[in-house]
Amino acid sequence: MGNTICDLGAGGVKVGSVGVAQAVCANELRTGNNRITDNRISAGGRVFHNGVGILCLDSFGNDISHNHIHDLFYSGISCGWVWGYSENVAKDNLIEKNHIHDLGHGVLSDMGGIYVLGVQPGTVVRGNLIHDVEKFHYGGWALYLDEGSSHILVENNIGYNVSSQPFHQHYGRENVIRNNILAFGRESQFCVSRAEDHNSITFERNIVVTDGEPLFTGGYGWKSGKSYMISDLNLFWSISGKPLICGGGSYHELWHALGHDKHSIVADPRFRNLAAFDFTLEADSPAWELGFQQIDMSDVGPRPVRSHTR
């Protein structure tokens, strides 16, 4: 708590180990209920470029909050580390109010500001501010739910200015993505890249802003006319004035034909100062009609010492 960790050969903080659920002495190896809060972690990965700001492996019940993480070549926070739907120790992790930015620098691929994977009931990713993630070849995301990510709540986050999408899920099931602001992904704004025969995400009450790039891309069986997600009550807006595109087709035709966003709207969300990336909503924003809640970023990152010591 309250540390400055910088000029690093690899990452900043590491919790737990891998393969815990499958180990013979699994109970003895389990680590949980740690607090990693209010730290400043920067200038990492100078020897091992894949160092992570905070690496939380097979671990449970951790509070990873109010950290400022920047200037790394890979992910800011990584949590989970069981690929697919196998047994997993990770659950009930809180990743909240972190400010994460300037990652990747075009050196590595397949990274996220916050990267989670595996079945993690009770894990919450909330109130984080993530921006400026630059890939080498593929995968520069703000919020990245990788293989098997399931039963995770992602809410009240702001992600913008990334080289792929602000939100990307590889594959998983029954994740809830709500009340987030996703803007200015250079490939699209949200993506689920593998279609599976179950509900992968519920995507609701989000504000999604594009500068002409597609809203959604992914592996969702456009030819079959099927979809494996629930999307509604969102606000979409293109500042370029270009028609909205989803998955290679028209938002108003293809996307609606799949049953999505029957109650969503296309409208200017009326941010206070979008040019300066101030995403505070004005009093006359149409987002209020959808039940969107204001996202307060005034306390993101490390807090004054007196407010987080006990």
- The stretch 145-156 carries a mean pLDDT of 98
Count Cβ atoms below 10 Å from residue 201 Cβ, excluding itself. Answer: 24
Residue 101 lies in a domain: yes
Decide: 207 and 179 in contact? Cβ < 8 Å: no
Residue from 229, 217, 145 nearest 186 by CA = 217
Is 190 a member of any domain? yes
* 32 domain-assigned: yes
Q: What is the mean pLDDT of the chain?
A: 93
Task: Average the pLDDT over 36-58 and give the result.
Answer: 97
Q: pLDDT tens across 251-264, in order? A: 888 788 888 899 99
Instruction: Encode pLDDT of 71-125 as tens digits.
Output: 999 999 999 989 999 988 999 999 999 999 999 999 999 999 999 999 999 999 9
Q: 181-234, pLDDT tens digit by residue?
A: 999 999 999 999 888 889 999 999 999 999 999 999 886 544 455 668 899 999
**Helix (DSSP H) and strand (DSSP E) numbers for the chain:** 3, 34
CATH number of the domain where residue 180 is located: 2.160.20
How many whole angstroms separate alpha carbon 162 and alpha carbon 164?
A: 6
**Residue 237, domain extent:** 4-304
pLDDT value of position 254: 79
- Whether residue 309 is contained in a domain is answered as no
Chain centroid to CA 179: how far?
Answer: 12
Q: Is 195 domain-assigned? A: yes
Average pLDDT over residues 126-142: 98
Exposure string for 135-144, b = 16+ CB within 10 A, e = fewer: bbeebbbbbb
* pLDDT single digits (tens) 260-296: 899 999 999 999 999 999 999 999 999 999 999 999 9
Nearest one of 36, 37, 43, 33 to 7, comparing CA atoms: 43
310 within domain boundaries: no
Query: Of 189, 180, 125, whose CA–CA distance to 161 is shortest?
Result: 189
- Per-residue confidence at 12, pLDDT binned at 50, 70, 90? very high
The SS3 of residue 36 is strand
Question: Based on the structure, what is the number of domains in the chain?
Answer: 1
